[in-house]
Structures are given as structure tokens and as C-alpha cells.
Structure 1
Amino acid sequence: MNYLEQERQDALAVSYVLGSMRGKARLRFQGLLMQHLSLRQAVWRWERHLNPVVEQLKPVMPDASVWQRVTIRLGWRALEQAPPPQSRSYWKETFALALVACLALVLLLPRLEPVVPTQVPAQLAIVQNSQAQALWVVKWEQQQLKVQATAAVQPLTDADYELWMLPENGQPPISLGLLPQQANTERALPPSVNGLKVAALAVSLEPKGGSPTGQPTGPVLHTAQLVQL
């Protein structure tokens, strides 16, 4: 079974959210949720769609005879103590409510459009020197920053290159960490950049280990613009 098909994921997610998926099937599906992000997103979408519908249903209290039959079945009461069976009206009412709920879902589901999570487009910047040689390739994607150093980067032993984000609103530069002098690196973006528009990226020369103040202390060597991919 291909669990990555959108229609199949939606069908499984609806069954899981409504509780009609039970037993081994539910346990197996919970294992798949740990493996596939798209399945978890489908469950989240349908929970947002269906939970408000379920919350509007009024709770139905079972007839007292139901509890009595349960206690007898478990051996908590003797059979001769059980009262005579009552009318089946309770079960008819319960069935009617369930039927109404199912009809409501049938009418509602075709109108529900799955909510697609907002994806922030990836952005790319190429930091160049004065000879237009590429030094670093910076990829800004979701909450991750990926940096690839090129062979044109001049290695330093007593200092470091530090990358900065320059906010469009004029706030002070925000450090994005040290730049690799070779190979590549990947790190999470700091929470302080959330919600801010980027005017440019900048590279400064800092003491070994980075700026001691949280702001650029050395000369700004390079700047670069992020371009949407």
C-alpha cells in the first residue's frame, strides 16, 4: 500500500481522527505517523476540520440498563438481580444520532479543502570578493541556513569570518554564526530573525571565535543579496 498518495493519506487521516480506525490498524498507523511528515500534516489538517464539528455534537448519556448489563457481564452482579430488559428506544435514538452525524460529515467533507501549510520559498545568496569570485554560497530555507565555502576563501588562523543579517526595518545586524573556511555547514536560524525581512547579508572580520559583543566589531568585507529560488 502506498501511504504517500494524497487521497489515501486523507482517507486514513479522517478515519484516524474520527476514531473509526482501531486495534492493530490504529497502532500501525501511529507507527507510520512517526515516519512520514506528510501523514502527520494530513492528520493535523483533518483535526482542524473535524474537531469543531465533533465538539458541536451534544453528549448522549446511556440508559441505566446499559451499566447494569455491563456489571452483570463482568460478574459484579448476579443475573437474578438484573431488572427485566427495557425498551429499545435508547438504541434507536443512538442510532439516529449517529446516522445524522454521518450524513453531516458526508455533506461537509466535499466542501473542505485541505489546508496546505505555508511554505516560505528558499532563497540563495552568493558572497563574492572584489574580483567577482564566489566565496560562499548561502542558502536560506525555512528555518535552516546552509553555507558552502569555495576554494577562493582565504584561510585565517587568528581570526574568523562572521555572517550577519541586515534587517530591512533598520534594526541592528543579527549574527548568523561563523562562516566555514572550507567545506560546508548547516545550522538552524536564530529565533530573532523570525518575521523580519532581509535587506542584505554581510560578512565581517572578527576575532577568533566571533564577535565578543554580538555586533560587528571588525571591518565589513562583503555584502550579498538574497534571491528567491
Structure 2
Amino acid sequence: MTDIFDEDDMLAAEYAMGLLSGEAHVAARSRVATDPAFAARVVGWEVQLSQMADLDPVAPPSGARDALLQRLFPETAPVPLWKRLGLWQALTGGALTVAVALAVVDLGPAVPPSLGPLYAAEITSDARDFRVIALVDKTTNEILLTRTAGAAPAGRILQVWAHGPGEPAQSVGIWPDGESVTLPLPIEIAAVRGTLTLGISEEPPGGSPTGQPSGRVFGTVDVPGVTDPRT
């Protein structure tokens, strides 16, 4: 276990769990938008943590803290970043349950290996009540989305949109339930070069009746520098 996590893994975990603030949060968010490898780590943590989101808080057994720290951080090993920053003190309730679970779970690769460029982006509402991490894979022309905050209102669904510069929004697909979804990019969206704009709205079951966002648009984000690895 001691060799599984490096400092980037811990930083990605802290970001995914919402434990960063101030300049540290701003710096990590910037890396999500500009560093595909780091963004992939964040997505991996988001996916793993989302599976534990419904766990009820539990009190750890007596001695669990010392046993866990000894297992993760033997005295002979360098002290990782998350221990130096006091991450343990920040973990309470459900987050502590997650930390204990992660100590015994071998997290696999964050995302499947890709031969082409990956583009990461964060779609966040102005009210900060909705947040999605998006990863565009130009090798497969797919988009992986992981929702980490918020949801569609009762009786509504999420719909994913995208467009190129100066083009109208086009539906990428419906996201009816679950924290994560992978959608193939339509031919017109896969052909976009330069800046790709992504957005998410809430719509009636079956999707927008107008072919354009008709409900609340939670947010949009521009993904610059999109290219095609086959050209």
C-alpha cells in the first residue's frame, strides 16, 4: 500500500473530497483544466468516492486511527503530503469511512489508457450547487462525465450539450441517472477543432423537446486547443 499513492494522488483525492480551500483549491482546479494526467486521477477518485456516497457515518473502532496511519505511513517511509497537511484531522463522519475503505481497496487505473490527447474540464454552476468533471478522449471520441455535486430535479433528467466556435449547441446525449456516464461524441462534435464548448442542462424525460436546452443550464465550459490525433 505504501507505494500506491504519490503526492499527486493525494492532491487529487483531497480535491475530489472537497478538502482544499483558498489558493490550494484554485491551483488544483487549474491543474484539472490544464493537466490531463492529473485530471484523470481526479476522475478516478471521483468515480471511486461516488460509489461510497450513500454510506452512513460510522464511528471507527478503537485504535483504528493508529493502525491505519501505521499501515499507510510506516516510520521508515517519507511522510506523504496529506499527512503533513493534517488530512486526518479534516476527515470526519462519512469522509472517515471513505478513508478507512480506501486503505483496504486497491484502486485500479483511473481511466482506460488512451493513445490520443485527453481534454479535462470542470462544469460548475454559478451557485456552486452542481459540479461535473468532464474528460474528452479524442482517441475514441467519447466523453466521460462524473457528477460530484447536485442532480436533476425530481422528474427531470440531465442532458449534455456541445458545440464548436460560432455553432449552436448540439445534444451529445441524455444522462438519466448515476454519478458517471460515458457518451460517444456525435460526428459534428467529434470534428470540432480549436475550442469545444460543453454544457449540461436539466430537461424533461426523453430530452429537450426543442433540440436546444429548454431547462436550467447548470453551466458551460470552453475546452481550448482540441485537435485530432489522426491528422
Confirm or deny a common fold (TM above 0.5): no
Q: Which has the higher contact order (CA 8 A, sep 6+)?
A: 2
Larger Rg, first or second structure (1 or 2): 1
